[in-house]
Structure 1
Amino acid sequence: MAASCSLVCCGEENDSDKAVIVRFSNGSIQNANALDFTMYKNTDDKTPRKRSRRIVVAETERLSYVGSNFGVGSMKCNNLCKYYVGVLNKQTMQMEVHSAQLFNMQPVIPGEVTETATAQDTTQTYREKVDSLIEAFGTNKQKRALSSRRLNQVGSDTLNQAVAKAATSVIEQKGLEVLQQEVAESQEDLALHLPPCSADATKPEDVYPFDGLLSPAEFEALEQAGSKMAALTSEELQNMRDEGGCLSVVKFLVNLPPEGEARDKIVRCAFYLSLLFKLLRQRNLSRKFGMEEGCPRIIQTKLFRTFTVETFKNGRVQNMVSASMQVKLAAFCLALLLHMDHMTADLSLLHRDLGITEARMIEVAKSMGLTLSKTARAKAEEDRPSNEHRQAFLVLPLVKYDKFMERRKRKKMH
Structure 2
Amino acid sequence: MGGQDGDTETEALQSARWLYCGEPDDRQKAVLVQFSNGKLQNPGDMHFTLYNSTDLVNPRQKSHRIVAAETDRLSYVGNNFGTGALKCNTLCRHFVGILNKTSGQMEVYDAELFNMQPLFAEDAIEREPPQETQNKTFRDKLDSCIEAFGSTKQKRSLNSRRMNKVGSESLNISVAKAAENIIDTKGVDALVSDALQDDVQDDSLYLPPCYADAAKPEDVYRFEDILSPAEYDALESPSEAFRKVTSEDILKMIEENSHCSFVIEMLKSLPADEEHRNRQARSIWFLDALIRFRAQKVIKGKSALGPGIPHIINTKLLKQFTCLTYNNGRLQNLISSSMKAKITAYAIILALHINNFQIDLTALQRDLKLSEKRMIEIAKAMRLKISKIKASLADGREEGHRLGTLSVPLPPAQTSDRQSKRKKMY
TM-score (norm 1): 0.50
What is the distance in 1 between the residues matched to 2:258 and 2:237? 24
**Is 1:342 paired with 2:347?**
no
Partner of 2:406: 394
Q: 1:352 aligns with which of 366, 369, 372?
A: 366
Q: 1:331 aligns with which of 326, 334, 345?
A: 345
**Cα offset, 1:245, TM superposition:** 5.6
Q: 1:216 aligns with which of 221, 229, 254?
A: 229
What is the distance in 1 between the residues matched to 2:398 and 2:344? 23
Tell me which amino acid in the other structure corresponds to 1:279: F
Partner of 2:325: 311
Tell me which amino acid in the other structure corresponds to 2:407: V
Kept after mapping to 1: 8 A contact 2:384/2:406: yes
The 1:252/1:271 distance shift into structure 2, 3 A limit, reads same
**Cα offset, 1:312, TM superposition:** 1.9
Partner of 1:290: 305
What is the distance in 1 between the residues matched to 2:389 and 2:272? 34
1:146-204: CA deviations, max 9, x gaps?
xxxxxxxxxxxxxxxxxxxxxxxxxxxxxxxxxxxxxxxx9881110111211121111
Partner of 2:273: 259
Partner of 1:406: 421
The 1:355/1:244 distance shift into structure 2, 3 A limit, reads farther
TM-score (norm 2): 0.49
Tell me which amino acid in the other structure corresponds to 1:281: A
What is the distance in 1 between the residues matched to 2:311 and 2:423? 52
What is the distance in 2 between the residues matched to 1:407 and 1:315? 41
> The residue matched to 1:225 in structure 2 has which SS?
coil
What is the distance in 2 between the residues matched to 1:406 and 1:312? 37
What does 1:89-168 align with in structure 2 at a 5 Å threshold?
none
Q: 1:272 aligns with which of 278, 282, 286?
A: 286
Tell me which amino acid in the other structure corresponds to 1:317: L
Partner of 1:178: none
1:245-284: CA deviations, max 9, x gaps?
6222111111111123211111000111111111111233
Partner of 1:227: 240
**Cα offset, 1:321, TM superposition:** 0.7
What is the distance in 2 between the residues matched to 1:227 and 1:403? 41
> The residue matched to 1:192 in structure 2 has which SS?
coil
> The residue matched to 1:359 in structure 2 has which SS?
helix
The 1:268/1:407 distance shift into structure 2, 3 A limit, reads closer
What is the distance in 2 between the residues matched to 1:211 and 1:347? 23
What is the distance in 1 between the residues matched to 2:378 and 2:297? 23
| Percent identity of paired positions between Structure 1 and Structure 2 | 38
**Cα offset, 1:244, TM superposition:** 7.0
Kept after mapping to 2: 8 A contact 1:245/1:352: no
- Aligned pair count reads 232
What is the distance in 1 between the residues matched to 2:388 and 2:213? 26
Partner of 2:214: 201
What is the distance in 1 between the residues matched to 2:222 and 2:351? 12
Gap runs ≥5 in structure 1: 1-41, 54-69, 72-115, 120-185, 377-383
What does 1:44-55 align with in structure 2 at a 5 Å threshold?
45=123
> The residue matched to 2:204 in structure 1 has which SS?
helix
Partner of 1:363: 377
Partner of 2:18: none
What is the distance in 2 between the residues matched to 1:218 and 1:397? 30
Kept after mapping to 2: 8 A contact 1:248/1:350: yes
Kept after mapping to 2: 8 A contact 1:195/1:335: no
Tell me which amino acid in the other structure corresponds to 1:227: E
What is the distance in 2 between the residues matched to 1:211 and 1:318? 29
**Cα offset, 1:341, TM superposition:** 1.0
